[in-house]
Every structure is written in structure tokens, then in C-alpha cells.
Amino acid sequence: MSEDITMNPERTDRGMQTMQREKFLQKEGHGQAQSGQTLQAQAQAIRCPHCGASNEPEAMFCASCGTPLRMVACPHCGSEIEPDADFCEVCHHYIRKDVCSFCGAHLTDGDAYCPECGNPRGGIVCPTCHTLNDFAFCKQCGTPLTDEAKALVKEMQMQPDYQILVEAAAELKELNKQLPFTSEREIVRSQMNDKLRERVLMLLAKDQGINNPVIPKKESRRMTTEELQKKKDEKMQQITELLDRMAIPQLASPVKARNYAMAQKPGGVRLAWVCNWKHAMHSSPCGCAKPQLGGKWVILGKNSNQEIKDDKK
């Protein structure tokens, strides 16, 4: 005859304890398994170097701030580059096969020409210096190569700051051509030549029957080395302030950022492009992998020895 456990409290307590122990062990085991899975997931997670957020192991960009989390290989030289870069700064090749380097439109594998701007996928040879270019402006001489680039230059020419910049650059170019007085003797000789000129013009006027002729003063551009250098410094400071005001903000497209920056570059003065990505100095934004992060042109002195990143092969 089976025993009625309801009539045996001790047996009931032991049964309940056994069941509770089994449930506890099951719960503990499940908790340990979950804890192990959590630790494993944490170990595999990629921590963002910028904001510190944890990301899924397969993530390419931080879910919190968008910073690239892993590097990819350049298809031309194999160098490590960030996944959102469209240009390799090691081998100087444009690497995006799905984006037109001239206008930023989408390309398919079969497109030999961009369906938006019509420019060839293999690049454009500059008609001025015969350099092969991947971008809308010549990286060597700055000539606009596409219709969009030419239109952008015309648009830039209407801006007041750009007009002042071009004028200041031309004035600096003229100052750089001038030869200063190198001695007191040269100054005296120049003054004597001016007096001789006035006397000759006075005699010629009298021979023509002109009494009391007015001889216009000749404006001499020559000055001492100190005066010339002071004028150059003032003009360079003016250009620097203009370039700071015209700094390129962050833009969505690296192609558009390059085109905009190249359109605002004045001629006649040595400039370099300093990017906001690495604060590196490039000969132009055409040599920067992430111009969309912004940057600005900086003026270089005639004898500047500042290192330009693009010049390093």
C-alpha cells in the first residue's frame, strides 16, 4: 500500500526542498549560460575609438557616432584605408567603382561614362598641362575640366570674398617680382635719374614753346628690402584672413567638397590644402582621402619648407 505523503510532513518537506534545489540549479545553470554568452558577446564587440560605444562584431561603422571601426585594403596597392575613404593617399588612386569621381553620381559596373555628367570613367587629360585626372579640376594646374567645374568657377567669381582674394593674390604676385634697393647708393642713383628725367622733359617742352610745363611725377615701385617685406607680409596676412573666412565646412560628398575647394583656389600664389581629417597638408584636396570633413587653403611663403603630404611617394 502506497504511503500518503500528506500524512508525513518530513517527507513533504524533503520533497519540496529537492524540487526547489533542482529549480535553483536549473536557474543558476541558465544564468551562468546567459552570463557566459554575455561575456562572449562583450569580448567580441568592437569598441569605438572615438566615443567608446560597443558595436556588433561585424559592424563597419560605430552605431553611435558613425566613426569607421575597421580598415579595408586599397584595391590598387593593398594599403590599409578607412572604409568611407574614396581615395588612397599611398598610391594616389581613386578607389570607388560605384561613384563618379567627377560629379558624385552612382555608377554601375557596366558604365564606361557617367550617366549624369557624361565624363569617362578612366579620367580626363588636362588640355593645359596634359595631366591625366580622376577629378573635375586638374590636380597639377587647377584647370576646370568639366562643365560643372566651369560653372562652379563662374559662380565663385561672383562672391565678394573671392574677388578680393583674387585681387590680393595678384598684388602679392607683383610684389614678389619687385627688386628692392640693396644699398644707399642705389637709392641716390634712382633719385638722380628721376631728376634727370624731369630736366629732359622740361627742355623738350620748352623747345615746343610750352612755358612752365607741368612734368608728371614718376611713381617708383622700388623700395628698400624692409619696406618691400612689410608690404608682402601685410598682403599675405590679408590673404590668410580671406582663406580662413572661406574655409570649407563638412559636406556630404567628397567629390562635391573637392570641386568646391578647387573652384575657390586663386592663381598666382603658392597654396596648400590642410584637411580637417588628419590636419595634413596636401597640394590640393585632390590628394585627400576625406575632403568631405572640411578644410582650408593656406598660403605658403616663397621659400617655405613646410612638408606637403602629397609630395611623399
Residue 221 vs residues 39, 109, 203, 215, 297: alpha-carbon distances, Å: 77, 60, 26, 19, 29
Q: Quick one: which H or E segment has residue 83?
A: none
pLDDT tier, 264 (very low <50, low <70, confident <90, very high otherwise): very high
pLDDT at 296: 95
CA–CA separation, 140 and 134 (whole Å): 12
Check the CA dihedral 293-167-138-90 and report its sign: negative
pLDDT of 29: 57
pLDDT of residue 175: 92
- Beta carbons within 10 angstroms of residue 228's beta carbon: 18
Query: What is the chain's mean pLDDT, rounded?
Result: 84
pLDDT value at residue 26 = 62
DSSP state of 181: B
Instruction: Give the C-alpha separation, 135 to 245, whole Å.
Output: 25
Cβ-Cβ contacts under 8 Å for 148 (sequence gap 6 or more): 102, 103, 117, 136, 259
Check residues 107 and 184 and name the one with the higher pLDDT: 107
Confidence of residue 313 (pLDDT cuts 50, 70, 90): very low
Identify the band that residue 117 occupies on the pLDDT scale cut at 50, 70 and 90.
very high
Question: What does the alpha-carbon distance between residue 99 and residue 19 come to, in Å, rounded to a whole number?
Answer: 66
Lowest-confidence segment of 6-10, 50-54, 208-212 by average pLDDT: 6-10
Residue 18: its pLDDT value, please? Answer: 62
CA distance 269 to 291: 22
Question: Which grid coordinates belong to 306?
Answer: 613646410
**Span 178-206, pLDDT tens digits:** 988 888 888 788 878 888 888 888 888 88
Q: How far is CA 137 from CA 4, 119, 222, 267, in A?
A: 96, 13, 37, 14
Q: How many CA within 13 A on the CB side of residue 194?
A: 13
Under the banding of pLDDT at 50, 70 and 90, the label for residue 61 is confident
**pLDDT grade for 28, boundaries at 50, 70 and 90:** low
Cα 187 from Cα 168, distance rounded (Å): 28
pLDDT band of residue 12 (cuts 50, 70, 90) is low
pLDDT at 303: 59
**What predicted TM-score, i.e. pTM, was given to this entire model?**
0.71
**Cell numbers found for residue 51:** 566615443
Question: What are the C-alpha distances in Å from 56 to residues 34, 59, 85?
Answer: 18, 5, 21
Does residue 35 carry a pLDDT above 90? no
Query: How does pLDDT run across 118-177, given as a tens digit for each residue?
Result: 999 989 999 999 999 999 999 999 999 999 999 999 999 999 999 999 999 999 999 999
pLDDT at 308: 80
Reported residue count of the chain is 313
CA atoms of 140 and 163, how far apart (whole Å): 23
Per mean pLDDT, which range of 81-85, 110-114, 118-122 is the poorest? 81-85
94 contacts: CB under 8 Å, gap ≥ 6: 86, 87, 101, 134, 135
* pLDDT tens digits, 203-223: 888 888 888 888 787 776 788
Q: Which residue did the predictor score with more confidence, 205 or 90?
A: 90
